Amino acid sequence: TTAYLIEQISAARGVATGLIGTVESRWPGGRMPATHTTPESHELQELLRRMADAGAQVVAMEVSSHALSQERAAGCVFSGAAFTNLTRDHLDYHGSLDAYFDAKAKLFRELLPRGVPAVLNLDDARVAALAGELPFALGFTVRAAAGAALFAERVRSDLRGVRFRLRTAAPLDVALAEVESPLIGAHNVENLLAAIGVLAGSGVPLRDVVRVIPECPGAPGRLERVPDREGRVVLVDYAHTDDALARVLDALRQAAAPRIVCVFGCGGDRDRGKRPLMGEAAGGRADLVVATSDNPRTEDPLAILAAIEPGLVRSGKAKLDPRHARMGLDGYCVVPDRREAIALALRCARPGDAVLLAGKGHEDYQIVGNEKRPFDDRLEARRALEEISR
């Protein structure tokens, strides 16, 4: 989301901009779907050359921990970087949270030139500790952390977006501004602060950044809304860790959703330890949870769901037969077929309820065995809503 915001703010100011990230790469006159968040090193350099030849003056790039571990970004000269937060993810690759953090921190410790902005979330203890190592750290905070250069105050969040007062301090110019964004969820304030920090720290006037933020929709598949004539608030999001799922569900609750229905699963052949944690995160925050499949790969989907269930039980949720869920009862259901799970969730939701389809976001496939099968939560939701309205 932060990379998309930097791209969209720059483009809205009339700056030719490229984007490289999890969903896609795009630039003036061109686009290609992503195969990796950060391409292999030779592919990355070829892509940057293509963007430069097309007239791009700025490129907003996601740099993954895998890419940093594998030196894919070696040779790139960055004019700014942001570290939003650290949550449990990719431990099947890195082995531990410490190793995961160190991989991410390489961008700041080894690849960022002296004097360019290192924009850091001071509300995250590990990220805040990194600030002490860096000569030009710009901290941001929504919790009034000491030493920050960007403060979000008076945050308001509803199902129309977020609004907050931005206060800046040295080394930025001291200023106050009102920020309005269509992004849903108070957690997106951190993404907005990170994007503002990178641009303001690079010399873009703060008033020019704030002026165009209402025009910036953020990233596809990140609390992306699927229209519903009957008044359900249907949202598709990429949240696929316990922390991300908790943050999104908390954001929906704070945005005054009267009832929340959550559909989620856990990836096969990936970190098994997070499965009960995700169950607990969902069960403790949503009113009705539908546990289902999410890229089971070579694992048995039922075995993955069995590993999720202890967390749902620990959250205090009672298991329901899907028939009882349709009668309006709250609890949790297990529906291995994701298409059926989405349809059930939408049938169980009432006008005004929030329905969160979590885990896949922008993805347009489901990995079963070693096969990628076409599957898009947004299309499935539209199809199910059309069926319900008949």
Average pLDDT in the chain: 96
Task: Tell me the CATH number for domain 224-389.
Answer: 3.90.190.20
Q: How far apart are the first and last CA of the chain?
A: 36
Say how many residues make up the chain: 390
Evaluate the omega torsion of the peptide bond into residue 171 and state whether it is cis, within 30 degrees of 0.
yes
Q: What is the mean pLDDT of residues 255-261?
A: 89
Q: What is the dihedral of CA 375, 378, 379, 380, to 10 degrees?
A: 70
In sequence order, which residues have a C-beta less than 8 Å from that of residue 119 and are 6 or more positions away? Answer: 80, 81, 82, 83, 137, 138, 139, 140, 194, 197, 198, 201
Angle at 71 between CA 70 and CA 76, to 5 degrees: 150
SS3 content of the chain, % helix, strand, coil (to 5): 35, 25, 40
Query: 2-215: what fold?
Result: UDP-N-acetylmuramoyl-L-alanine:D-glutamate ligase (3.40.1190)
Contacts 24+ apart (CB under 8 A), 349-352: 349/232, 349/234, 349/259, 349/261, 350/232, 350/259, 351/230, 351/231, 351/232, 352/231, 352/232, 352/233, 352/257, 352/258, 352/259
Q: Using CA atoms, how far apart are residues 308 and 302, in angstroms rounded to an integer?
A: 10
In sequence order, which residues have a C-beta less than 8 Å from that of residue 9 and are 6 or more positions away? Answer: 195, 199, 209, 212, 213, 216
Q: What is the mean pLDDT of residues 158-177?
A: 96
Chain centroid to CA 54: how far?
29
Q: Which DSSP letter does residue 215 get? A: G
Q: Using CA atoms, how far apart are residues 112 and 107, in angstroms rounded to an integer?
A: 6
Please determine, for residue 114, whether its predicted confidence score (pLDDT) is greater than 70.
Answer: yes
**Per-residue model confidence as pLDDT tens digits over 66-97:** 999 999 999 899 999 999 988 767 667 767 98
The strand ranges marked E within 217-328 are: 224-226, 233-237, 260-264, 288-291
Give the predicted TM-score (pTM) of the model. 0.88
Q: Using CA atoms, how far apart are residues 200 and 197, in angstroms rounded to an integer?
A: 5
> Given the DSSP bridges, would you call strands 81-83 and 118-121 parallel, antiparallel or unpaired?
parallel
Closest-CA residue to 347 (of 383, 312, 295, 300): 383
Locate the domains of the chain by residue range: 2-215, 224-389
Residue pair 343/234 in contact (Cβ under 8 Å)? The answer is: no
Q: Using CA atoms, how far apart are residues 370 and 104, in angstroms rounded to an integer?
A: 29
Please determine, for residue 62, whether its predicted confidence score (pLDDT) is greater than 80.
Answer: yes
**Per-residue model confidence as pLDDT tens digits over 323-380:** 999 999 999 999 999 999 999 999 999 999 999 999 999 999 999 999 999 999 999 9
Chain centroid to CA 140: how far?
18
Max Cα-Cα span within the chain: 61
pLDDT reported for residue 88: 65
Q: What is the mean pLDDT of residues 130-137?
A: 93
Angle between helices 188-201 and 2-12 (to 10 degrees): 50
In sequence order, which residues have a C-beta less than 8 Å from that of residue 129 and are 6 or more positions away? Answer: none
Angle at 139 between CA 133 and CA 144, to 5 degrees: 125
